[in-house]
C-alpha cells in the first residue's frame, strides 16, 4: 500500500478511503498467491494506465484515479484466469525493507520475492496446522470430488501430474485441489 501511495502521489491520483479499502482487500487476497514484488508490478502498471487515461479528452485525474481499484482487481483476475506469469519488481529505492521483513528474511528465508503460496505453506508447516486431523478432514470431500470427476473423464493421470506440479511450485494441497477442480469443471 505504501508503494501504491508513492505511485499515486507521483501522478497526482487521489483515492478515497473506500477505494483504498477495496485495494487493500484485493491485495490482501492476492498476497495468498503472489509475492509482494509481483504486486508492485501490478500497481506500477495500473497507476500508469490511470495516468495515461487522465490525459484523455473525456477524463480527468479524479475519474482516472477512480479506475485504479477495478483495474487492479481485473488485472489479477486475468492473470489467474489465463495463467499469466506476473513480473517481479525490484524494491523501490525510496521503500527500504522494514524490520519485520528483515527478521522474517533472516529466520525464515523469505523476502518480497517469495510467493504467497510458499509463505503460507511455510507458516502452516511451522505452526503444525498442516498435519492436524481437522485439515485432513476438511480435504476429504474436495479430494473425493476431484478424483470422481477425474476418473469419470478418464484424466486421472493428468490430474495427478498437475497436482504434483502445483505442489512442487510451492502451492499447498488445498490450493492445488481447488485449482485442478476449477479447471475440470470449466
Q: Name which of 135, 132, 170, 163 is nearest 147 in CA terms.
A: 163
At 37, the pLDDT band (50, 70, 90 cuts) reads: very high
Smallest CA-to-CA distance from 113 within 40, 177, 11, 10 is with 40
Q: How confident is the model at residue 5 (pLDDT cuts 50, 70, 90)?
A: very high
The end-to-end CA distance of the chain, in Å, is 34
Q: Is the dihedral of CA 77, 78, 82, 86 positive or negative?
A: negative
Q: Are 150 and 159 in contact (CB under 8 A)?
A: yes
- Banded model confidence at residue 65, pLDDT cuts 50, 70, 90: very high
Is it the case that residue 134 has pLDDT exceeding 90?
no
pLDDT bucket at 131, cuts 50 / 70 / 90: low
pLDDT score of 77? 94
**CA–CA dist 163, 69 (Å, integer):** 33
Mean pLDDT for the stretch of residues 122-137:
64
Calpha distance 141→73 (Å, rounded):
30
Q: What is the mean pLDDT of residues 26-38?
A: 92
**pTM, whole model, 2 decimals?**
0.64
Q: How confident is the model at residue 172, as a pLDDT?
A: 79
Nine cell digits for residue 59: 477524463
Which of 50-64, 67-81, 123-137 comes out lowest in average pLDDT? 123-137
**pLDDT at residue 71 in the model:** 96
Is the pLDDT reported for residue 136 higher than 70?
no
Checking if the pLDDT of 61 tops 60, the result is: yes
Amino acid at each position: 500500500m505504501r508503494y501504491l501511495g508513492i505511485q499515486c502521489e507521483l501522478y497526482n491520483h487521489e483515492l478515497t478511503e473506500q477505494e483504498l479499502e477495496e485495494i487493500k482487500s484485493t491485495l490482501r487476497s492476492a498476497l495468498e498467491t503472489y509475492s509482494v514484488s509481483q504486486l508492485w508490478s501490478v500497481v506500477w502498471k495500473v497507476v500508469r494506465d490511470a495516468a495515461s487515461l487522465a490525459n484523455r479528452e473525456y477524463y480527468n485525474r479524479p475519474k482516472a484515479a477512480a479506475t485504479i481499484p477495478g483495474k487492479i482487481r481485473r488485472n489479477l483476475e486475468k492473470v489467474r484466469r489465463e495463467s499469466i506469469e506476473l513480473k517481479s519488481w525490484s524494491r523501490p529505492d525510496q521503500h527500504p525493507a522494514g524490520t519485520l521483513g528483515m527478521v522474517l528474511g533472516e529466520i525464515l528465508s523469505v523476502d518480497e520475492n517469495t510467493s504467497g503460496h510458499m509463505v503460507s505453506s511455510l507458516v502452516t508447516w511451522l505452526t503444525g496446522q498442516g498435519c492436524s486431523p481437522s485439515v485432513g478432514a476438511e480435504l476429504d470431500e474436495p479430494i473425493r470430488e476431484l478424483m470422481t470427476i477425474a476418473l469419470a473423464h478418464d484424466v486421472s493421470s493428468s490430474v495427478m501430474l498437475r497436482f504434483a506440479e502445483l505442489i512442487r511450485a510451492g502451492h499447498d494441497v488445498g490450493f492445488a485441489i481447488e485449482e485442478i477442480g476449477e479447471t475440470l469443471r470449466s
